[in-house]
Amino acid sequence: MTDTKLEKLPESLDPKNVPLGEAVLRHLVYSVGKDASHAVRRDWCAALSLAVRDRMVDGWMDTTRRIYKEKAKRVYYLSMEFMIGRLLEDAISNMGLTAEAKGFFSEHGLDLQEILEAEPDPALGNGGLGRLAACFLDSMATVGVAGMGYGIRYEHGIFRQSFQDGWQLEEPEDWLIFGNNWEFHRPEVSYPISFGGSVQQDAQGKMVWTPSERILAGAFDTPIAGWQGKHVNTLRLWSARSAETLNLHQFNQGEFMAASRQQVLAESITKVLYPGDHTAEGRELRLKQEVFFTSASLQDLLHRFLLDNKDLTALPKHVAIQLNDTHPAIAVPELVRLLVDEHDMEFVQSFEIARGCLNYTNHTLLPEALEKWPLELIERCLPRHLQIIREIDNLFAAEIRAKFEGKDPAPMQAIDPHHGGWVRMGNLAFIGAKRVNGVSALHTELMKQTVFKDLHEVYPDRILNQTNGITPRRWLKECNPGLAELITETIGEDWVGDLSHISELVPYAEDKAFRDKFKAVKLENKKRLAAYIQSEVGIKVDPTALFDIQIKRIHEYKRQLMNALETMALYNAMKADPKAGWQPRVKIFAGKAAPSYTLAKLIIKLINDAAKVINNDPDVDGLLKLVFLPNYNVSAAEILIPGADLSEQISTAGFEASGTGNMKFALNGALTVGTLDGANVEIKEHVGDDNIFIFGLEADEVAARQHGGCQPWVTVAETPRLQEVVTQISSGFYSNGDTERFKGIVDNVLAHDYFQVTPDFQAYWDIQRKIDGEFKDQDTWQRMAVLNTANMGWFSADRTIRGYANDIWKAL
Ligand code: 26W
């Protein structure tokens, strides 16, 4: 730090003293380097972003100063994914600059909305876990938690999805190609991350790790302003570079590739989110990504702590660390390693410190998603960590033996020596955490009964629930301005900062004039969505039809297949009797399949092939359309969700940890058709049994069938509509006579049907027909829709963050 007399900046430099429009013009010319007459939307977007960012900086620094002064407890949220979406609209909205920005651009003949859409969507996440992390950043800044997000600055993030002849095609996403106006690069903040090599004991008995590879983690900071900009937190993303410089000698010999080898290898760590893990190289890269960002984050937070603290035993008093699933679970041995090896502390004490700071959120019970790494891989890449994991396991075993006579700790330990040897990251995270939480009431209960049954028995106070939530700023105020305005003019604006106020809408469900306005807003949103569908896939849909939407990662447990089969059965029924008074429907899907998930990709192909047949059949024209939108991301969700009448939440009961899309739809006045799974259970409790469509097997019935053996082929034979559809698919009805194409799907459903599509099909069909009938009674439907919006207050992520802050972090 320099020694300067400059304490306060002159008032004239305060960005708030300059009208926003002037600041935009100044940035356009002097930062972007463009003349207004030549600027394209992207340039205006850059200029506006920089002008808005300027306005965030003072609040950002104030927040930092306040946190230091008050010695506020710091919360670090470690996540492989932050699906933040576009930031500009969020920032101007939270900073109260929307009207000013709109006014300035319209004065210049420009449309703010178009400029907002010029911002690329940061593709830094894959599913609900990543979006949850982004909602939490917004809520931590709104509620006033001194929170910091730590993750990876993926150069390409998640792949961009397109369709080629109906098949998913994956292409690299280039979100950084025009730069990122939100981030501050901090070249001076850089930490070494080590891999490989060996460990020796020195003369004093200390373990000394001599790694064979070292990579540097460099920091990029994005300010995150909460509602009304009072509190501004930081998202710090790490980017990898080589610790070695370019081999100039080799380069000058013309060996360009060899000279750059180290750089290329190092940089590969932060290239993409979820590198294919069907190869050993891919798996190793993924492990290295996890270690990379976890270690950098821990080194950084320890550095910050030591700036004004000497005693590391006080760490748990000042710091809480949240592990977003097991991806950063290597934090357990890494924090111990940093304390023991770099700060000369005792092992037992170090482990106690780690266990005082670390907490773990579990997001799935699917066994294949509970990470485990081959012992051999950990030994080769992280020899010192493996030693520490063994020590932790020994300590844990001693603790169990002392507390429970005769109890065998082996099945609970992090290391599973059987089947070739594995490190179970879920067990490691559990053993090293102060608190472990699930993300909905049902999921937490099932966690206690299944994956962590034995660990829960020995540490009965460790598991607790924090049902997920969503930020009402992005998921209502920004994505649905029409509804937001209607709500504000009806009950005032308090709901934005405190969503519990939205319950003041309840009486308006009985108010016909209000319902009509509510319906008019929905229709406008459906028109906007219809235009989006037309521009994306060239399909014309009728905005007055029932818009039925399923948008999420493609996975067997989420049962897009069941929805597709029901669509085909509906098509058959409509075609057989087109004049039977059908409720017109538009079935909309969007979502990506993991590149190596063959069956999920085949489901996409099936939906696209069925869409071709159905959408081109004049018999059902005006009755049924089937649409699969490519490249689902946050920006697409912001158009889709406000335009939905019906929200599909139809996972096999017991498999969706929570879901958060379900909450977004309900908040925007869509009704849910769903199973009693994840947070659907709690949504039902809040909106009331009469305002949600629940069907199907419950979690215990599913488990019984999965264990007891079921005979799906018998069920299919007993369900004529399903039988007809299955026969059509296998006989090539949707595949130009190709009877092989969908064999993978048909065989799976008939022979195994692990996710219980066949037993739930009839109930799903029946409830859909009930929905058809209720939608026709628009007045009743709108009443239910209003009650959904009005009863979603509890699902604000602000409520969730307060729960974490009070029960886990002790930070409010
Ligand atoms: C091990 C590789 C891996 C990585 C990510 C497996 C699975 C994932 C998912 C994308 C994790 C995920 O997004 N889970 C979702 O988390 C949400 C937030 O808690 C829940 O609402 C969803 O139910 C859950 O599927």
Alpha-carbon gap, residue 620 to 579, rounded angstroms:
10
Ligand 1 pocket check for 363: Cβ under 6 Å: yes
> What b-and-e string marks burial along 329-356, b requiring 16 or more CB atoms within 10 Å of the CB?
bbbbbbbbbbbbbeeebebeebbebbbb
SS (H, E, C) 202-241: CCCCCEEEECCEEEEEEEEEEEEECHHHCCEEEEEEEEEE
Q: Give residue for tokens 């570079």.
A: 241
Side-chain-side CA neighbours of 614 within 13 Å: the count stands at: 30
Amino acid at 268: S
Structure tokens at 165: 């002849």
Residue 580 lies in a domain: yes
Percent of the chain with pLDDT over 70: 100
385 catalytically annotated: no
The pLDDT value given to residue 404: 94
Alpha-carbon gap, residue 139 to 125, rounded angstroms:
18
* 160 and 192 both lie in a single domain: yes
Residue 702 lies in a domain: yes
- Closest to 675 measured CA to CA, from 569, 790, 776, 558: 558
Side-chain-side CA neighbours of 45 within 13 Å: the count stands at: 21
Instruction: Please give the DSSP secondary-structure letter assigned to residue 594.
Output: -
Q: Give residue for tokens 């610790």.
A: 243
Instruction: Please give the DSSP secondary-structure letter assigned to residue 246.
Output: P
* 576 and 607 both lie in a single domain: yes
* Atom 2 of ligand 1, nearest CA residue: 369
Tens digits of residue pLDDT in 431-458: 999 999 999 999 999 999 999 999 999 9
The pLDDT value given to residue 276: 81
Confidence of residue 1 (pLDDT cuts 50, 70, 90): low
What mean pLDDT do residues 534-549 have?
98
Contact 431, 329 (CB under 8 A): no
**Which atom of ligand 1 is nearest the CA belonging to 132?**
18
Instruction: Domain count for the chain, please give it.
Output: 3
Confidence of residue 5 (pLDDT cuts 50, 70, 90): confident
Tens digits of residue pLDDT in 643-693: 999 999 999 999 999 999 999 999 999 999 999 999 999 999 999 999 999
The angle, 0 to 180 degrees and rounded to 10, between the axes of the packed helices 720-730 and 743-751 is: 150
Alpha-carbon gap, residue 173 to 155, rounded angstroms:
8
pLDDT beyond 80 at 6: no
Whether the pTM exceeds 0.85: the reply is yes
Alpha-carbon gap, residue 104 to 804, rounded angstroms:
41
664 catalytically annotated: yes
Ligand 1 pocket check for 425: Cβ under 6 Å: no
Ligand 1 pocket check for 128: Cβ under 6 Å: yes
Ligand 1 pocket check for 361: Cβ under 6 Å: no
Q: How far is the CA of 551 from the centre of ligand 1 (A)?
A: 14
* 315 and 427 both lie in a single domain: yes
**Which atom of ligand 1 is nearest the CA belonging to 127?**
13
- Cα-based distances in Å from 589 to 162, 247, 527, 623, 637: 14, 50, 17, 17, 11
What mean pLDDT do residues 226-250 have?
94
Ligand 1 pocket check for 660: Cβ under 6 Å: yes
* 117 and 129 both lie in a single domain: no
Q: How far is the CA of 126 from the centre of ligand 1 (A)?
A: 8
Domain of residue 480 covers 472-795
Ligand 1 pocket check for 326: Cβ under 6 Å: no
Contact 576, 139 (CB under 8 A): no
The pLDDT value given to residue 730: 97
Pocket test for ligand 1, best of 81, 83, 129 (most atoms within 8 A of CB): 129
- Cα-based distances in Å from 714 to 702, 710, 720, 782: 17, 9, 11, 40
Pocket test for ligand 1, best of 325, 444, 470, 552 (most atoms within 8 A of CB): 325
**Which residue of the set 27, 86, 363, 601 is catalytic?**
363
SS (H, E, C) 675-703: CCCCCHHHHHHHHCHHHCEECCCCHHHHH
Ligand 1 pocket check for 125: Cβ under 6 Å: no
**Which atom of ligand 1 is nearest the CA belonging to 325?**
11
776 catalytically annotated: no
**What mean pLDDT is reported for the chain?**
96
Residue 279 lies in a domain: yes
Ligand 1 pocket check for 657: Cβ under 6 Å: yes
- Cα-based distances in Å from 219 to 121, 156, 246, 297, 335: 20, 17, 21, 10, 19
The pLDDT value given to residue 465: 98
Q: How far is the CA of 364 from the centre of ligand 1 (A)?
A: 6
Ligand 1 pocket check for 468: Cβ under 6 Å: yes
553 catalytically annotated: yes
The pLDDT value given to residue 668: 98
Q: What are phi and psi of 437, to 5 degrees?
A: -130, 150
pLDDT beyond 70 at 585: yes
**Which residue of the set 385, 558, 559, 741 is catalytic?**
558
pLDDT beyond 90 at 10: no
Contact 119, 132 (CB under 8 A): no
E strand or H helix that includes residue 550: strand 546-551
**Which residue of the set 317, 553, 684, 802 is catalytic?**
553
Ligand 1 pocket check for 132: Cβ under 6 Å: yes
Q: What are phi and psi of 35, to 5 degrees?
A: -85, 140
Identify the burial level of 766 via C-beta atoms within 10 angstroms of its C-beta, where 0-12 means exposed, 13-18 middle and 19 or more buried. exposed
**Which atom of ligand 1 is nearest the CA belonging to 277?**
2
**Which residue of the set 552, 601, 625, 783 is catalytic?**
552
Strand duo 167-171 + 184-195: pairing: unpaired
Residue 76 lies in a domain: no
Residue 79 lies in a domain: no
Residue 83 lies in a domain: no
* 722 and 580 both lie in a single domain: yes
* 94 and 168 both lie in a single domain: no
CATH number of the domain enclosing 536:
3.40.50.2000
Residue 662 lies in a domain: yes
Tens digits of residue pLDDT in 160-206: 999 999 999 999 999 999 999 999 999 999 999 999 999 999 999 99
Residue 458 lies in a domain: yes
The pLDDT value given to residue 192: 98
* Atom 18 of ligand 1, nearest CA residue: 129
* 529 and 666 both lie in a single domain: yes
* 622 and 704 both lie in a single domain: yes
Instruction: Please give the DSSP secondary-structure letter assigned to residue 807.
Output: I
Instruction: Please give the DSSP secondary-structure letter assigned to residue 277.
Output: -
* 254 and 351 both lie in a single domain: yes
558 catalytically annotated: yes
The pLDDT value given to residue 709: 75
Structure tokens at 329: 């679970």
* 596 and 462 both lie in a single domain: no
**Which residue of the set 444, 471, 660, 672 is catalytic?**
660
Contact 678, 441 (CB under 8 A): no
* 512 and 624 both lie in a single domain: yes
* More confident position, 7 or 252: 252
* 458 and 557 both lie in a single domain: no
* Atom 3 of ligand 1, nearest CA residue: 369
Q: What is the CA radius of gyration of the chain?
A: 27
* Atom 12 of ligand 1, nearest CA residue: 129
Side-chain-side CA neighbours of 154 within 13 Å: the count stands at: 28
